[in-house]
Structure 1
Amino acid sequence: MADGVGRDGTTDGADEPDRDVDLEDDSGAVIAAVGRQVRLWREAAGMRAAELGAAIGYGENQVYKVETGKRIPKPEFLDRADEVLGAGGKLAAMKKDVMEARYPKKVRDLAKLEADAVEMGAYASVTVHGLLQTEEYARALYRGRRPAFSEDQVERFVAARMARQSVFERQPAPLLTFVQEEATLRRPTGGRMVLRRQLEHLLEVSALRHVEIQVMPTETEEHSGLDGPHRLLKLSDGTAVGYNEVQLTSRLISDPKEVQILEMRYGLIRSQALTPRLSRTFIEKLLGET
Protein backbone atom coordinates (compact mmCIF):
# COMPACT_ATOMS: atom_id res chain seq x y z
CA MET A 1 0.00 0.00 0.00
CA ALA A 2 1.23 3.43 -0.64
CA ASP A 3 2.35 5.14 2.52
CA GLY A 4 1.19 8.53 1.21
CA VAL A 5 -2.08 9.87 -0.10
CA GLY A 6 -2.44 7.27 -2.80
CA ARG A 7 -5.86 6.37 -4.13
CA ASP A 8 -7.00 4.18 -1.32
CA GLY A 9 -8.68 5.15 1.58
CA THR A 10 -7.11 2.73 2.23
CA THR A 11 -7.42 1.64 3.88
CA ASP A 12 -9.67 2.81 6.64
CA GLY A 13 -15.12 3.76 10.17
CA ALA A 14 -17.76 5.79 11.73
CA ASP A 15 -21.10 6.49 10.10
CA GLU A 16 -20.68 8.70 7.07
CA PRO A 17 -22.96 10.57 4.67
CA ASP A 18 -24.39 8.51 1.81
CA ARG A 19 -21.70 8.01 -0.81
CA ASP A 20 -21.80 8.51 -4.54
CA VAL A 21 -20.95 5.30 -6.35
CA ASP A 22 -17.84 4.98 -8.47
CA LEU A 23 -19.27 3.33 -11.57
CA GLU A 24 -15.82 2.11 -12.60
CA ASP A 25 -15.63 0.14 -9.36
CA ASP A 26 -17.29 -3.28 -9.09
CA SER A 27 -19.12 -1.97 -6.02
CA GLY A 28 -21.58 -0.45 -8.50
CA ALA A 29 -23.18 -3.85 -9.20
CA VAL A 30 -23.70 -4.53 -5.50
CA ILE A 31 -25.21 -1.11 -4.81
CA ALA A 32 -27.45 -1.37 -7.88
CA ALA A 33 -28.79 -4.73 -6.66
CA VAL A 34 -29.51 -3.32 -3.21
CA GLY A 35 -31.26 -0.34 -4.77
CA ARG A 36 -33.48 -2.59 -6.89
CA GLN A 37 -34.53 -4.49 -3.80
CA VAL A 38 -35.46 -1.29 -2.00
CA ARG A 39 -37.57 -0.18 -4.99
CA LEU A 40 -39.29 -3.58 -5.29
CA TRP A 41 -40.17 -3.66 -1.58
CA ARG A 42 -41.41 -0.04 -1.76
CA GLU A 43 -43.61 -0.74 -4.76
CA ALA A 44 -44.95 -3.93 -3.15
CA ALA A 45 -45.89 -1.83 -0.12
CA GLY A 46 -47.74 0.64 -2.37
CA MET A 47 -45.58 3.57 -1.29
CA ARG A 48 -44.17 6.41 -3.35
CA ALA A 49 -40.51 7.40 -2.96
CA ALA A 50 -41.51 10.61 -1.19
CA GLU A 51 -43.63 8.66 1.30
CA LEU A 52 -40.83 6.23 2.06
CA GLY A 53 -38.38 9.09 2.47
CA ALA A 54 -40.67 10.88 4.90
CA ALA A 55 -41.18 7.70 6.90
CA ILE A 56 -37.48 6.98 7.34
CA GLY A 57 -36.14 10.53 7.53
CA TYR A 58 -34.70 10.94 4.03
CA GLY A 59 -35.56 13.13 1.06
CA GLU A 60 -37.34 11.84 -2.02
CA ASN A 61 -34.27 12.50 -4.14
CA GLN A 62 -32.07 10.47 -1.80
CA VAL A 63 -34.46 7.53 -2.01
CA TYR A 64 -34.42 7.69 -5.81
CA LYS A 65 -30.62 7.81 -5.86
CA VAL A 66 -30.40 4.72 -3.65
CA GLU A 67 -32.96 2.87 -5.76
CA THR A 68 -31.13 3.64 -9.00
CA GLY A 69 -27.75 2.60 -7.60
CA LYS A 70 -26.30 6.10 -7.65
CA ARG A 71 -25.97 6.40 -3.89
CA ILE A 72 -24.57 4.08 -1.23
CA PRO A 73 -27.15 3.81 1.58
CA LYS A 74 -26.15 4.20 5.21
CA PRO A 75 -26.89 1.23 7.50
CA GLU A 76 -29.73 3.08 9.22
CA PHE A 77 -31.37 3.73 5.83
CA LEU A 78 -31.63 -0.03 5.28
CA ASP A 79 -32.73 -0.68 8.87
CA ARG A 80 -35.53 1.90 8.72
CA ALA A 81 -36.62 0.93 5.21
CA ASP A 82 -36.73 -2.71 6.26
CA GLU A 83 -39.01 -1.87 9.19
CA VAL A 84 -41.29 0.52 7.30
CA LEU A 85 -41.65 -1.75 4.26
CA GLY A 86 -42.08 -4.92 6.29
CA ALA A 87 -39.16 -6.65 4.60
CA GLY A 88 -38.63 -8.98 7.55
CA GLY A 89 -34.89 -8.36 7.80
CA LYS A 90 -34.15 -8.94 4.11
CA LEU A 91 -33.09 -5.33 3.46
CA ALA A 92 -31.25 -4.98 6.76
CA ALA A 93 -29.31 -8.15 5.94
CA MET A 94 -27.66 -6.34 3.03
CA LYS A 95 -25.75 -3.96 5.34
CA LYS A 96 -22.63 -6.15 5.32
CA ASP A 97 -22.48 -6.17 1.50
CA VAL A 98 -22.99 -2.42 1.42
CA MET A 99 -20.33 -1.87 4.08
CA GLU A 100 -17.74 -3.69 1.95
CA ALA A 101 -18.86 -2.06 -1.29
CA ARG A 102 -18.45 1.48 0.02
CA TYR A 103 -14.67 1.08 0.08
CA PRO A 104 -12.64 1.34 -3.16
CA LYS A 105 -12.02 -2.02 -4.85
CA LYS A 106 -8.27 -1.67 -4.54
CA VAL A 107 -8.60 -1.28 -0.79
CA ARG A 108 -10.89 -4.30 -0.49
CA ASP A 109 -8.48 -6.45 -2.50
CA LEU A 110 -5.50 -5.37 -0.42
CA ALA A 111 -7.46 -5.88 2.80
CA LYS A 112 -8.17 -9.48 1.73
CA LEU A 113 -4.44 -10.09 1.29
CA GLU A 114 -3.75 -8.54 4.69
CA ALA A 115 -6.41 -10.74 6.26
CA ASP A 116 -4.61 -13.81 4.90
CA ALA A 117 -1.09 -12.67 5.76
CA VAL A 118 0.93 -14.26 8.54
CA GLU A 119 3.68 -11.68 8.14
CA MET A 120 3.81 -8.19 6.63
CA GLY A 121 6.68 -5.79 6.17
CA ALA A 122 6.64 -2.25 4.83
CA TYR A 123 9.21 0.42 4.05
CA ALA A 124 7.71 3.93 4.04
CA SER A 125 9.75 6.84 2.73
CA VAL A 126 7.24 9.61 1.98
CA THR A 127 4.72 9.65 4.85
CA VAL A 128 3.87 7.53 7.85
CA HIS A 129 2.65 4.18 6.55
CA GLY A 130 -1.11 3.92 6.09
CA LEU A 131 -1.54 1.15 8.65
CA LEU A 132 0.19 3.32 11.25
CA GLN A 133 -1.63 6.58 10.56
CA THR A 134 -3.99 8.29 12.98
CA GLU A 135 -7.34 9.40 11.62
CA GLU A 136 -6.28 13.07 11.82
CA TYR A 137 -3.05 12.41 9.96
CA ALA A 138 -4.80 10.43 7.21
CA ARG A 139 -7.44 13.13 6.82
CA ALA A 140 -4.75 15.80 6.46
CA LEU A 141 -3.09 13.77 3.70
CA TYR A 142 -6.30 13.33 1.74
CA ARG A 143 -7.28 16.97 2.12
CA GLY A 144 -3.89 17.98 0.76
CA ARG A 145 -4.22 15.87 -2.37
CA ARG A 146 -4.37 17.67 -5.75
CA PRO A 147 -6.56 17.63 -7.72
CA ALA A 148 -8.66 17.94 -4.60
CA PHE A 149 -10.99 15.26 -3.26
CA SER A 150 -14.49 16.25 -2.17
CA GLU A 151 -15.18 16.04 1.57
CA ASP A 152 -17.28 12.92 0.95
CA GLN A 153 -14.37 11.28 -0.84
CA VAL A 154 -11.96 12.29 1.92
CA GLU A 155 -14.19 10.73 4.57
CA ARG A 156 -14.68 7.60 2.50
CA PHE A 157 -10.95 7.11 2.07
CA VAL A 158 -10.16 7.89 5.70
CA ALA A 159 -12.78 5.38 6.85
CA ALA A 160 -11.34 2.74 4.54
CA ARG A 161 -7.82 3.34 5.81
CA MET A 162 -8.91 3.14 9.45
CA ALA A 163 -10.90 -0.04 8.78
CA ARG A 164 -7.80 -1.79 7.47
CA GLN A 165 -6.07 -1.22 10.79
CA SER A 166 -8.15 -4.04 12.26
CA VAL A 167 -5.20 -6.19 11.16
CA PHE A 168 -3.54 -5.23 14.47
CA GLU A 169 -6.35 -6.99 16.36
CA ARG A 170 -6.34 -10.21 14.35
CA GLN A 171 -5.95 -13.56 16.10
CA PRO A 172 -3.64 -15.29 15.62
CA ALA A 173 -1.67 -12.09 15.29
CA PRO A 174 0.52 -11.66 12.20
CA LEU A 175 4.06 -10.33 12.54
CA LEU A 176 4.00 -6.71 11.38
CA THR A 177 7.22 -4.80 10.71
CA PHE A 178 7.67 -1.25 9.47
CA VAL A 179 10.66 0.89 8.54
CA GLN A 180 9.99 4.63 8.53
CA GLU A 181 12.29 7.25 7.07
CA GLU A 182 13.25 9.84 9.67
CA ALA A 183 11.89 12.63 7.46
CA THR A 184 8.38 11.15 7.63
CA LEU A 185 8.47 11.56 11.41
CA ARG A 186 9.57 15.18 11.28
CA ARG A 187 7.24 16.57 8.61
CA PRO A 188 4.33 18.33 10.42
CA THR A 189 1.57 16.95 8.21
CA GLY A 190 -1.68 18.50 9.42
CA GLY A 191 0.13 20.73 11.89
CA ARG A 192 2.19 20.37 15.04
CA MET A 193 -0.49 18.77 17.22
CA VAL A 194 -1.44 16.23 14.54
CA LEU A 195 2.22 15.25 14.31
CA ARG A 196 2.48 14.96 18.11
CA ARG A 197 -0.51 12.61 18.26
CA GLN A 198 0.90 10.64 15.34
CA LEU A 199 4.21 10.13 17.14
CA GLU A 200 2.36 9.13 20.30
CA HIS A 201 0.37 6.62 18.26
CA LEU A 202 3.55 5.12 16.84
CA LEU A 203 4.83 4.56 20.37
CA GLU A 204 1.57 2.90 21.37
CA VAL A 205 1.55 0.58 18.35
CA SER A 206 5.23 -0.29 18.71
CA ALA A 207 4.50 -1.56 22.22
CA LEU A 208 2.42 -4.41 20.76
CA ARG A 209 4.30 -7.69 20.93
CA HIS A 210 3.69 -8.58 17.28
CA VAL A 211 4.68 -5.16 15.89
CA GLU A 212 8.16 -3.78 15.25
CA ILE A 213 8.75 -0.22 14.04
CA GLN A 214 12.20 0.90 12.95
CA VAL A 215 13.50 4.32 11.97
CA MET A 216 15.88 4.88 9.06
CA PRO A 217 18.02 7.89 10.08
CA THR A 218 18.63 10.49 7.40
CA GLU A 219 22.35 10.39 8.14
CA THR A 220 22.60 6.69 7.19
CA GLU A 221 25.12 6.37 4.37
CA GLU A 222 24.24 2.87 3.12
CA HIS A 223 20.59 2.66 2.18
CA SER A 224 19.00 -0.15 0.14
CA GLY A 225 15.61 1.51 -0.09
CA LEU A 226 16.38 4.41 -2.38
CA ASP A 227 14.28 2.89 -5.16
CA GLY A 228 11.20 3.79 -3.14
CA PRO A 229 8.63 2.39 -0.70
CA HIS A 230 7.30 -1.14 -0.97
CA ARG A 231 5.44 -3.81 0.94
CA LEU A 232 5.81 -7.56 1.41
CA LEU A 233 3.08 -9.96 2.51
CA LYS A 234 3.69 -13.61 3.39
CA LEU A 235 0.43 -15.51 3.07
CA SER A 236 -0.93 -18.47 5.01
CA ASP A 237 -0.32 -20.87 2.10
CA GLY A 238 3.41 -20.12 2.17
CA THR A 239 3.49 -17.81 -0.83
CA ALA A 240 4.67 -14.22 -0.75
CA VAL A 241 3.64 -11.15 -2.73
CA GLY A 242 4.89 -7.60 -3.00
CA TYR A 243 2.99 -4.39 -3.44
CA ASN A 244 4.16 -1.07 -4.88
CA GLU A 245 2.30 2.17 -5.40
CA VAL A 246 3.90 5.20 -7.00
CA GLN A 247 1.91 8.31 -7.91
CA LEU A 248 -0.99 7.11 -10.10
CA THR A 249 0.16 3.50 -10.49
CA SER A 250 -0.22 0.55 -8.13
CA ARG A 251 1.08 -2.94 -8.77
CA LEU A 252 0.75 -6.31 -7.08
CA ILE A 253 3.96 -8.29 -7.51
CA SER A 254 3.63 -12.07 -7.54
CA ASP A 255 6.52 -13.19 -9.74
CA PRO A 256 8.78 -15.22 -7.37
CA LYS A 257 11.97 -13.67 -8.74
CA GLU A 258 10.74 -10.12 -8.25
CA VAL A 259 9.37 -10.94 -4.79
CA GLN A 260 12.75 -12.39 -3.88
CA ILE A 261 14.44 -9.13 -4.85
CA LEU A 262 12.02 -7.15 -2.67
CA GLU A 263 12.61 -9.53 0.23
CA MET A 264 16.36 -9.10 -0.12
CA ARG A 265 16.05 -5.32 -0.20
CA TYR A 266 13.69 -5.19 2.75
CA GLY A 267 16.02 -7.37 4.80
CA LEU A 268 18.90 -5.01 4.05
CA ILE A 269 16.77 -1.96 4.85
CA ARG A 270 15.89 -3.41 8.25
CA SER A 271 19.54 -4.17 8.98
CA GLN A 272 20.53 -0.60 8.07
CA ALA A 273 17.82 1.06 10.18
CA LEU A 274 17.85 1.58 13.93
CA THR A 275 16.78 -1.41 16.01
CA PRO A 276 13.18 -1.40 17.30
CA ARG A 277 14.39 -0.45 20.81
CA LEU A 278 16.58 2.40 19.58
CA SER A 279 13.78 3.49 17.26
CA ARG A 280 11.40 3.89 20.20
CA THR A 281 14.00 6.05 21.92
CA PHE A 282 14.40 8.07 18.72
CA ILE A 283 10.63 8.63 18.39
CA GLU A 284 10.38 9.63 22.05
CA LYS A 285 13.13 12.21 21.44
CA LEU A 286 11.28 13.59 18.41
CA LEU A 287 8.08 13.79 20.44
CA GLY A 288 9.89 15.80 23.06
CA GLU A 289 11.09 18.22 20.40
CA THR A 290 7.70 18.61 18.70
Structure 2
Amino acid sequence: MPGPKDLDPSSSPRAMIGAELRHARERKGLSQEQLGQVLFVSGSFIGQLEAGTRRMQPEYARLLDEALDTGDFFARNCVAAAKSKYPEHFAEAAEAEAQATAIKEYSPLLIPGLLQTPEYARAVFRAYRPTEPDRQLDELVSVRMSRATLLDDPTDLVLWVVVDEAALRRVTGGRTVMAEAVRHLADTSRQHRAIVQVLPFEAGAHTAMEGPIRLMDFADAPPVVYFEGVGTGRLEDDPTTVRQRQRTFELLTACALSPAKSLVLLDAVAQDYAHEKHP
Protein backbone atom coordinates (compact mmCIF):
# COMPACT_ATOMS: atom_id res chain seq x y z
CA MET A 1 0.00 0.00 0.00
CA PRO A 2 1.47 3.41 -0.94
CA GLY A 3 2.33 5.67 1.95
CA PRO A 4 0.54 8.94 2.63
CA LYS A 5 1.53 11.97 0.65
CA ASP A 6 3.28 15.02 2.07
CA LEU A 7 0.91 17.70 3.30
CA ASP A 8 0.25 20.99 1.57
CA PRO A 9 0.79 23.66 4.27
CA SER A 10 -1.82 25.90 2.60
CA SER A 11 -4.70 23.44 3.00
CA SER A 12 -5.39 22.87 6.73
CA PRO A 13 -2.27 20.78 7.43
CA ARG A 14 -3.30 20.03 10.98
CA ALA A 15 -6.66 18.62 9.87
CA MET A 16 -4.94 16.56 7.19
CA ILE A 17 -2.39 15.18 9.67
CA GLY A 18 -5.26 14.29 11.99
CA ALA A 19 -7.07 12.42 9.24
CA GLU A 20 -3.90 10.51 8.34
CA LEU A 21 -3.30 9.68 11.99
CA ARG A 22 -6.80 8.25 12.37
CA HIS A 23 -6.37 6.24 9.17
CA ALA A 24 -2.97 4.85 10.24
CA ARG A 25 -4.22 4.02 13.75
CA GLU A 26 -7.29 2.18 12.49
CA ARG A 27 -5.18 0.30 9.93
CA LYS A 28 -3.08 -0.95 12.86
CA GLY A 29 -6.22 -1.94 14.77
CA LEU A 30 -5.40 0.30 17.73
CA SER A 31 -7.82 2.26 19.87
CA GLN A 32 -7.04 5.84 20.86
CA GLU A 33 -6.27 4.66 24.39
CA GLN A 34 -3.87 1.98 23.13
CA LEU A 35 -2.01 4.43 20.92
CA GLY A 36 -1.94 6.95 23.74
CA GLN A 37 -0.07 4.45 25.91
CA VAL A 38 2.75 4.43 23.36
CA LEU A 39 3.10 8.22 23.68
CA PHE A 40 2.43 8.22 27.44
CA VAL A 41 -0.61 10.44 26.86
CA SER A 42 -4.35 9.95 27.25
CA GLY A 43 -6.63 8.54 24.58
CA SER A 44 -8.41 11.90 24.54
CA PHE A 45 -5.12 13.54 23.56
CA ILE A 46 -4.90 11.22 20.54
CA GLY A 47 -8.50 12.14 19.73
CA GLN A 48 -7.58 15.82 19.80
CA LEU A 49 -4.65 15.22 17.45
CA GLU A 50 -6.98 13.40 15.07
CA ALA A 51 -9.58 16.17 15.31
CA GLY A 52 -6.95 18.83 14.62
CA THR A 53 -7.49 20.62 17.93
CA ARG A 54 -4.00 19.87 19.23
CA ARG A 55 -0.64 20.52 17.61
CA MET A 56 1.57 17.51 16.96
CA GLN A 57 4.97 17.99 18.52
CA PRO A 58 8.12 16.49 16.89
CA GLU A 59 8.74 14.07 19.77
CA TYR A 60 5.22 12.64 19.37
CA ALA A 61 5.58 12.51 15.59
CA ARG A 62 8.66 10.28 15.84
CA LEU A 63 6.93 7.89 18.24
CA LEU A 64 3.87 7.72 16.00
CA ASP A 65 5.97 6.90 12.95
CA GLU A 66 7.55 4.03 14.87
CA ALA A 67 4.29 2.71 16.33
CA LEU A 68 2.26 3.00 13.10
CA ASP A 69 4.95 2.02 10.56
CA THR A 70 4.53 5.27 8.63
CA GLY A 71 8.22 5.79 7.82
CA ASP A 72 8.98 9.39 8.67
CA PHE A 73 5.65 10.82 7.49
CA PHE A 74 4.55 12.44 10.75
CA ALA A 75 8.07 13.63 11.59
CA ARG A 76 8.32 15.38 8.21
CA ASN A 77 4.84 16.85 8.09
CA CYS A 78 4.41 18.01 11.66
CA VAL A 79 6.67 20.92 10.71
CA ALA A 80 4.09 22.09 8.17
CA ALA A 81 1.30 21.66 10.71
CA ALA A 82 3.20 23.75 13.26
CA LYS A 83 3.35 26.86 11.07
CA SER A 84 1.19 29.60 12.53
CA LYS A 85 0.58 33.33 12.28
CA TYR A 86 0.09 33.48 16.06
CA PRO A 87 2.72 33.82 18.81
CA GLU A 88 4.16 30.44 19.79
CA HIS A 89 2.59 30.34 23.25
CA PHE A 90 -0.89 31.11 21.88
CA ALA A 91 -0.82 29.34 18.52
CA GLU A 92 -2.29 26.06 19.71
CA ALA A 93 -5.09 27.79 21.61
CA ALA A 94 -5.95 30.10 18.71
CA GLU A 95 -6.13 27.21 16.28
CA ALA A 96 -8.18 25.15 18.74
CA GLU A 97 -10.73 27.93 19.14
CA ALA A 98 -11.35 27.81 15.39
CA GLN A 99 -12.55 24.21 15.89
CA ALA A 100 -14.53 24.90 19.07
CA THR A 101 -18.31 24.71 19.38
CA ALA A 102 -18.29 26.71 22.62
CA ILE A 103 -15.83 29.02 24.37
CA LYS A 104 -16.32 30.15 27.95
CA GLU A 105 -13.96 32.80 29.21
CA TYR A 106 -13.41 34.90 32.30
CA SER A 107 -11.26 37.95 31.69
CA PRO A 108 -10.13 39.85 34.81
CA LEU A 109 -7.98 42.59 33.27
CA LEU A 110 -8.73 42.83 29.55
CA ILE A 111 -11.67 42.84 27.21
CA PRO A 112 -11.41 39.35 25.64
CA GLY A 113 -9.46 39.23 22.37
CA LEU A 114 -12.42 38.00 20.30
CA LEU A 115 -14.40 41.07 21.41
CA GLN A 116 -11.76 43.79 21.09
CA THR A 117 -11.87 46.73 18.71
CA PRO A 118 -8.84 47.44 16.51
CA GLU A 119 -7.79 50.52 18.47
CA TYR A 120 -8.18 48.79 21.82
CA ALA A 121 -6.10 45.86 20.53
CA ARG A 122 -3.48 48.28 19.27
CA ALA A 123 -3.24 49.93 22.69
CA VAL A 124 -2.82 46.52 24.33
CA PHE A 125 -0.09 45.47 21.89
CA ARG A 126 1.67 48.81 22.28
CA ALA A 127 1.74 48.32 26.05
CA TYR A 128 3.20 44.84 25.57
CA ARG A 129 5.74 46.01 22.97
CA PRO A 130 6.59 49.67 23.57
CA THR A 131 9.39 49.78 20.96
CA GLU A 132 7.68 47.72 18.23
CA PRO A 133 7.49 49.41 14.77
CA ASP A 134 3.98 50.51 13.78
CA ARG A 135 3.99 48.19 10.76
CA GLN A 136 4.44 45.13 12.95
CA LEU A 137 1.74 46.34 15.32
CA ASP A 138 -0.57 46.64 12.30
CA GLU A 139 0.06 42.97 11.52
CA LEU A 140 -0.66 41.91 15.11
CA VAL A 141 -3.92 43.86 15.15
CA SER A 142 -4.94 42.42 11.79
CA VAL A 143 -4.38 38.86 13.02
CA ARG A 144 -6.37 39.52 16.20
CA MET A 145 -9.26 41.04 14.26
CA SER A 146 -9.33 38.05 11.90
CA ARG A 147 -10.12 35.82 14.88
CA ALA A 148 -13.38 37.72 15.41
CA THR A 149 -14.79 36.30 12.16
CA LEU A 150 -15.65 33.24 14.27
CA LEU A 151 -18.59 35.28 15.55
CA ASP A 152 -20.01 36.04 12.10
CA ASP A 153 -22.39 33.11 12.55
CA PRO A 154 -23.09 32.69 16.29
CA THR A 155 -24.86 29.38 15.61
CA ASP A 156 -21.44 27.85 14.86
CA LEU A 157 -19.85 29.00 18.12
CA VAL A 158 -21.31 29.83 21.51
CA LEU A 159 -19.12 32.49 23.11
CA TRP A 160 -19.87 33.14 26.79
CA VAL A 161 -17.68 35.67 28.54
CA VAL A 162 -17.56 37.05 32.06
CA VAL A 163 -15.70 40.35 32.05
CA ASP A 164 -14.47 41.79 35.32
CA GLU A 165 -15.44 45.40 35.95
CA ALA A 166 -11.72 46.10 36.37
CA ALA A 167 -11.25 45.45 32.64
CA LEU A 168 -13.89 48.07 31.87
CA ARG A 169 -12.50 50.69 34.24
CA ARG A 170 -8.84 50.46 33.22
CA VAL A 171 -8.35 53.22 30.66
CA THR A 172 -6.58 51.45 27.80
CA GLY A 173 -5.72 53.68 24.86
CA GLY A 174 -7.59 56.69 26.20
CA ARG A 175 -11.24 57.45 26.93
CA THR A 176 -12.29 57.64 23.30
CA VAL A 177 -10.86 54.19 22.63
CA MET A 178 -12.51 52.83 25.76
CA ALA A 179 -15.89 54.32 24.85
CA GLU A 180 -15.75 52.54 21.50
CA ALA A 181 -14.44 49.30 23.03
CA VAL A 182 -17.14 49.07 25.71
CA ARG A 183 -19.83 50.08 23.23
CA HIS A 184 -18.67 47.28 20.92
CA LEU A 185 -18.89 44.83 23.81
CA ALA A 186 -22.44 46.00 24.51
CA ASP A 187 -23.45 45.82 20.85
CA THR A 188 -22.11 42.28 20.56
CA SER A 189 -24.30 41.27 23.47
CA ARG A 190 -27.30 43.21 22.17
CA GLN A 191 -26.99 41.52 18.76
CA HIS A 192 -26.89 38.09 20.44
CA ARG A 193 -23.49 37.28 18.98
CA ALA A 194 -22.16 36.41 22.43
CA ILE A 195 -23.36 36.02 26.01
CA VAL A 196 -21.71 38.79 28.03
CA GLN A 197 -21.81 39.12 31.81
CA VAL A 198 -20.00 41.68 33.94
CA LEU A 199 -18.56 40.70 37.32
CA PRO A 200 -18.99 43.95 39.31
CA PHE A 201 -16.66 45.21 42.00
CA GLU A 202 -19.47 44.86 44.50
CA ALA A 203 -19.38 41.07 44.04
CA GLY A 204 -16.34 41.13 46.30
CA ALA A 205 -14.11 38.06 46.62
CA HIS A 206 -14.84 35.37 44.07
CA THR A 207 -13.70 31.93 42.96
CA ALA A 208 -11.39 33.07 40.13
CA MET A 209 -9.33 35.75 41.82
CA GLU A 210 -6.13 33.89 40.89
CA GLY A 211 -6.48 34.55 37.18
CA PRO A 212 -8.29 34.14 33.85
CA ILE A 213 -10.22 31.12 32.64
CA ARG A 214 -10.67 29.92 29.07
CA LEU A 215 -12.60 26.71 28.36
CA MET A 216 -13.26 25.19 24.94
CA ASP A 217 -15.72 22.47 23.89
CA PHE A 218 -15.56 20.52 20.63
CA ALA A 219 -17.95 18.38 18.63
CA ASP A 220 -15.55 15.45 18.21
CA ALA A 221 -12.93 15.88 20.96
CA PRO A 222 -12.88 16.27 24.75
CA PRO A 223 -13.03 19.78 26.27
CA VAL A 224 -9.84 21.64 27.18
CA VAL A 225 -8.82 24.53 29.39
CA TYR A 226 -6.21 27.07 28.35
CA PHE A 227 -3.82 28.38 30.99
CA GLU A 228 -2.11 31.68 30.15
CA GLY A 229 0.59 33.77 31.78
CA VAL A 230 2.94 36.51 30.65
CA GLY A 231 4.36 35.19 27.37
CA THR A 232 3.31 31.62 28.17
CA GLY A 233 0.31 29.40 27.55
CA ARG A 234 -0.70 25.74 27.40
CA LEU A 235 -3.76 23.60 26.74
CA GLU A 236 -4.78 21.04 29.35
CA ASP A 237 -7.23 18.18 28.77
CA ASP A 238 -7.00 16.40 32.12
CA PRO A 239 -10.67 15.65 32.93
CA THR A 240 -10.36 16.54 36.62
CA THR A 241 -8.66 19.85 35.86
CA VAL A 242 -11.22 20.74 33.19
CA ARG A 243 -14.13 19.91 35.51
CA GLN A 244 -12.65 22.11 38.24
CA ARG A 245 -12.37 25.07 35.89
CA GLN A 246 -15.86 24.44 34.55
CA ARG A 247 -17.20 24.60 38.11
CA THR A 248 -15.24 27.79 38.73
CA PHE A 249 -16.79 29.39 35.65
CA GLU A 250 -20.27 28.31 36.73
CA LEU A 251 -19.76 29.95 40.12
CA LEU A 252 -18.57 33.11 38.40
CA THR A 253 -21.70 33.34 36.26
CA ALA A 254 -23.74 33.06 39.47
CA CYS A 255 -21.85 36.00 41.01
CA ALA A 256 -21.90 38.14 37.86
CA LEU A 257 -24.69 40.43 36.72
CA SER A 258 -27.26 38.89 34.39
CA PRO A 259 -26.75 39.56 30.67
CA ALA A 260 -29.55 42.14 30.76
CA LYS A 261 -28.15 43.99 33.78
CA SER A 262 -24.64 43.69 32.34
CA LEU A 263 -25.83 45.42 29.20
CA VAL A 264 -27.20 48.31 31.27
CA LEU A 265 -23.84 48.68 33.01
CA LEU A 266 -21.90 48.48 29.74
CA ASP A 267 -24.03 51.21 28.19
CA ALA A 268 -23.52 53.40 31.26
CA VAL A 269 -19.73 52.91 31.26
CA ALA A 270 -19.55 53.68 27.54
CA GLN A 271 -21.54 56.86 28.13
CA ASP A 272 -19.26 57.86 30.99
CA TYR A 273 -16.22 57.47 28.77
CA ALA A 274 -17.87 59.37 25.92
CA HIS A 275 -18.57 62.27 28.31
CA GLU A 276 -15.19 61.93 30.02
CA LYS A 277 -16.64 60.77 33.33
CA HIS A 278 -14.63 58.02 34.93
CA PRO A 279 -14.52 57.09 38.62
Q: TM-score, normalised by structure 2?
A: 0.64
Does structure 1 retain, via aligned residues, the 8 Å contact 2:165–2:199? yes
Structure 2 CA distance for partners of 1:102 and 1:231, relative to 1, 3 Å:
closer
Aligned partner of 2:178 among 190, 195, 204 = 195
Aligned partner of 2:107 among 120, 124, 130 = 124
- Superposed CA offset, 1:225-284 (max 9, x none): 101012000011151000121112211111111111110101101111001000000111
Q: What are structure 2's unaligned runs of at least 5 residues? A: 1-8, 14-79, 274-279
Match of 2:134 in 1: 151
* CA apart distance, 1:220: 1.0
Match of 1:256 in 2: 239
Measured in 2, the distance between the counterparts of 1:138 and 1:110 equals 18
SS at match of 1:128: coil
Does structure 1 retain, via aligned residues, the 8 Å contact 2:223–2:237? yes
Structure 2 CA distance for partners of 1:226 and 1:107, relative to 1, 3 Å:
closer
- Superposed CA offset, 1:111-132 (max 9, x none): 3311221111000011111111
Aligned partner of 2:167 among 184, 196, 213 = 184
Greater relative contact order (Cα 8 A, min sep 6): structure 1 or 2? 1
Report sequence identity in percent: 33
Match of 1:81 in 2: none
Measured in 2, the distance between the counterparts of 1:154 and 1:102 equals 13
Measured in 1, the distance between the counterparts of 2:140 and 2:248 equals 30
SS at match of 2:227: strand
2:226 aligned with 1:228 = no
Measured in 1, the distance between the counterparts of 2:171 and 2:197 equals 19
What is the root-mean-square deviation in Å for CA atoms of aligned residues?
2.4
2:151 aligned with 1:173 = no
Aligned partner of 1:115 among 75, 90, 98 = 98
- Which amino acid in the other structure matches residue 208 of structure 1? Q
Measured in 1, the distance between the counterparts of 2:105 and 2:212 equals 7
Does structure 1 retain, via aligned residues, the 8 Å contact 2:93–2:235? no
Measured in 2, the distance between the counterparts of 1:110 and 1:251 equals 8
The alignment covers a number of residue pairs equal to 195
Does structure 2 retain, via aligned residues, the 8 Å contact 1:120–1:175? yes
Match of 2:143 in 1: 160
